[in-house]
Structure formats: C-alpha cells, structure tokens
Amino acid sequence: MQSSTPLGFTWDASVLPAVTPGTTRRALAIYQQQLASFVWDAAKLENNPFTFVEVQTLLDGVTVGGHKLSDAEQVTNLADSSKKLVELVKNGRFDLNKPTFILLHTIVARNEALEWGVFRGEGEETSYSPYVALGEKGEHHPLPTVAGAAELNRVYADGVAFIKTLPPFEGALVMFLFGALQQFFFDGNKRTSRHMMNGWLMKHGFDPISVPAARAQEFNDRMVSFYVEKDATAMLAFLNSCRRS
C-alpha cells in the first residue's frame, strides 16, 4: 500500500500482475481495429443511447437519425478524440503533460462541458465548483474552482511527476483515477483521463483498455467506493480485469 502520494489517494499495487509489454505499433493496431468498441463503451458509460451498430455507422461518416444532436455530438467527439490520440501516439508526441490533456479535452468535451480546453478557473467561469454525486454515499467535492487555477495546476504537475516514477502499466491506470478524482475540468474528466491512460499504455507497448458496456454498473459502483474511500486498489484490479488480451 502506498503510504502517501500527491494524487489524493493510495493503493496496493500487488493486485496488478506483471504485464509484459509488446510494441506501440501492435497496441495502436488493436486500438484502431476496435475503435468502434472503444467509442461505444465510453458512450455507454455516459448513458448515451447510441447502439453499437449506430456508432459504427457514425464512424463511417453516415448520419444516424432518431437521436438528439447532443448524443450524436458526444459520440462524434469520442471518435475524433480517439483518432487524435492515435495520431499523438503514432507520431511520438503523446505525453502526460498538460498540453496533451488539454488538447484531448478540447475534443472530448466540445460543446458539452461548461468550458472545454482549460482547467477549471482558467476560462471565464471562476466561481462554480462542480461535484460528483455518489447517491446514498453523498457527494465528492474536488478542489474549488479559483481564478487562474493555480492549485489545480500545481496538483496536476506534482501528480504527473509522481506517476512518471511508477511502472508504466501501473502509472497508466493510476493516471485515469487521478484525473477522475481531481476533476480538473467542469465535465468530461473520466473520458479524457481514459484517453490519457490509454495513451500512456500504448506509448509503452501495452494494449489499450476499455471498460465494457456490459460492466458499466460494476464500474460505477467501484468508482463510488473509490471517491469515498480514496483507495484505488479495487479500481486498479477492475481496470486490469478489463484488458482484452
């Protein structure tokens, strides 16, 4: 168990197996081949009503009728950001740095979040602080939104520096939970942070991970426990169990 970290949570890394990396090329090939599944899985975690076939149709550039424009745009944003992720990793430009995080969020949360492409407090909105509703477990309140986002920037920089000291497979999964907990953006935190997780995985030759739509309830339940307990052990085990190979 980590005794203390700058991430806001601890975990027991012994729940993760020793995973042997392959090549970035192989990891990218898997991601691109299964892109529709990755997009659909992510959309279902947001309760998006698009079916898998409809997602495939939209990815083929064909308009799908019968849905709200906001639902269609959410799927399009997930697809576009996934393609940008592939481009960054393929060109050797992916990193856990803030510019990469911001770039992916700009696409993921386009026309959906209160603001996109900036940390909370760096844009026009400087007083609204979001929270995560946890049902009967209450609410998770991240750092407040403050003009300039000085503390959020410090937390992100310190957190990423720490994550880069971890074994890459462990660090990638931890990166997702770091972004989900700290809520650097008004919305789209989990979606963007999963991209960061997969970018770090693929950069180091590990296969990308997607939470299957069929396991959405299990994912949500475990995330509630993570927010409450600030212990990532169970979530790390869950994410590892979602590996497709």
**Residue at 57: amino acid letter:** T
* CB of 10 closer than 8 Å to CB of 231: yes
* CB of 196 closer than 8 Å to CB of 101: yes
Please give the domain boundaries of the chain with CATH numbers for all domains.
21-241 (1.10.3290.10)
DSSP 208: P
pTM of the model: 0.96
- What DSSP assignment string belongs to 81-136? HHHHHHHHHHTT---SSHHHHHHHHHHHTTTTSSS-SS-TTSSS--S----EE-GG
- The label of the residue with tokens 């959309």 reads 43
Question: How far is residue 52's CA from residue 6's CA, in Å, rounded to a whole number?
Answer: 38
* CB of 155 closer than 8 Å to CB of 120: no
Tell me the H-state helices in the chain: 24-33, 35-45, 52-59, 69-90, 98-108, 150-163, 168-182, 189-203, 216-229, 233-241
- The label of the residue with tokens 């997702």 reads 176
Question: How far is residue 79's CA from residue 75's CA, in Å, rounded to a whole number?
Answer: 6
| pLDDT tens, N- to C-terminus, the chain (245 residues) | 665 689 999 999 999 999 999 999 999 999 999 999 999 999 999 999 999 999 999 888 887 877 888 999 999 999 999 999 999 999 999 999 999 999 999 999 999 999 999 999 999 999 999 999 999 999 999 999 999 999 999 999 999 999 999 999 999 999 999 999 999 999 999 999 999 999 999 999 999 999 999 999 999 999 999 999 999 999 999 999 999 76
